[in-house]
Amino acid sequence: MLARRAAIVAALFCGTTAAAQEMKSGSLPEQGASALERYVAEMWSGADADWKQRLQQDETQAQCSRFRNNPPDDIAEAIRKREAATIALPEDGNVLGRWQDGEKIAQNGRGGQFSDAPDTVRGGNCYACHEMAKSEASFGTLGPSLAEYGKLRGFSAEAAKETFAKIYNSQATLPCSSMPRFGVHGFLTAQQIKDVTAYLFDRESPVNK
Ligand code: HEC
């Protein structure tokens, strides 16, 4: 299966199959899209229903694709509303877990991938896109720096709540954000979101040192 997938990828990029020829021969997007669709169908043919489900865009994803992540105002507003409705704040109002656990979640990019065992604990992979603790050697820069995040906000309880909501569903504040909506499909649990919120807001967290 893996070897076959690799062969298909190689064929697409090296141009040895009809599909690849079709992609190269112009008159895109129709022909290119159909070659891509065939490639995806082939690649996912052995996947179980759970995985196949991931190929179905929800309404927000479809709208973001359609407008290339730059939706007109009315659609943006509809997305914001729809996504805000998915956010479940903790019932007891406490959005802060353990920063030590949050640090591990922020550093962990495994879980939920084809190559992971299904029971692999998922991470948030926050460092792939954000600077957080200044002591951390490497980080991505797709998202803004979150260094001293809680400190810069006076450790305010209100800001912590907004941050929990941001991590739960980034698109409730920025439609078509490229930050994953961690809470929506339970990718991270509410407890994990509380833990990373604490990593950003606890006075003792290396983020605020
Ligand atoms: C794929 C990249 C990506 C990942 C992974 C990611 N983020 Fe983000 N994040 C972004 C981008 C881009 C923005 C700015 C756009 C926006 O506000 O949605 C952002 C914004 C934020 C903000 C708001 C910053 C502000 O302006 O005040 C917070 C807080 C945040 N991210 C926390 C996290 C946490 C915690 C994690 C891990 C659980 C995480 N992010 C994972 C890309 C990412």
Confidence label for 118 from pLDDT (cuts 50, 70 and 90) = confident
From the CA of 171, give the closest atom in ligand 1. Answer: 18
39/142 same-domain check: no
86/51 same-domain check: no
Query: Nearest residue CA, atom 25 of ligand 1?
Result: 144
Alpha carbon distances (Å) from 191 to 25, 90, 116, 186: 51, 9, 22, 11
Average pLDDT, integer, range 97-120: 93
| Residue 57, phi-psi category: left (phi > 0), alpha (psi -120 to 50), beta (remainder) | beta
Phi, psi dihedral angles at 144 (to 5 degrees): -70, 160
86/123 same-domain check: yes
52/90 same-domain check: no
Q: How far is the centre of ligand 1, averaged over its atoms, from the C-alpha of 181 (Å)?
A: 10
Q: How far is the centre of ligand 1, averaged over its atoms, from the C-alpha of 189 (Å)?
A: 17
124/193 same-domain check: yes
202/106 same-domain check: yes
196/102 same-domain check: yes
The number of folded domains in the chain is: 2
Q: How far is the centre of ligand 1, averaged over its atoms, from the C-alpha of 130 (Å)?
A: 7
Q: How far is the centre of ligand 1, averaged over its atoms, from the C-alpha of 179 (Å)?
A: 5
What's 176's domain CATH number?
A: 1.10.760.10
User: Angle, nearest 10°, between helix axes 59-66 and 73-84?
Assistant: 160
120/39 same-domain check: no
- Residue 36 Cβ contacting ligand 1 at under 6 Å: no
Quote the percentage of the chain above a pLDDT of 90. 69
17/92 same-domain check: no
Please check the confidence at residue 63 and state whether its pLDDT lies above 50.
yes
Flag whether 47 is in a domain. yes
Predicted pLDDT of residue 31: 58
From the CA of 196, give the closest atom in ligand 1. Answer: 35
30/93 same-domain check: no
Looking at per-residue pLDDT, the higher value among 28 and 52 belongs to: 52
Q: How many Å apart are CA 125 and CA 188, to the nearest integer? A: 11
Residue 44 domain boundaries: 2-56
At 165-176, the pLDDT tens digits run 999 999 999 999
31/115 same-domain check: no
Helix (H, G, I), strand (E, B) or coil at 70: coil
Predicted pLDDT of residue 32: 63
Flag whether 171 is in a domain. yes
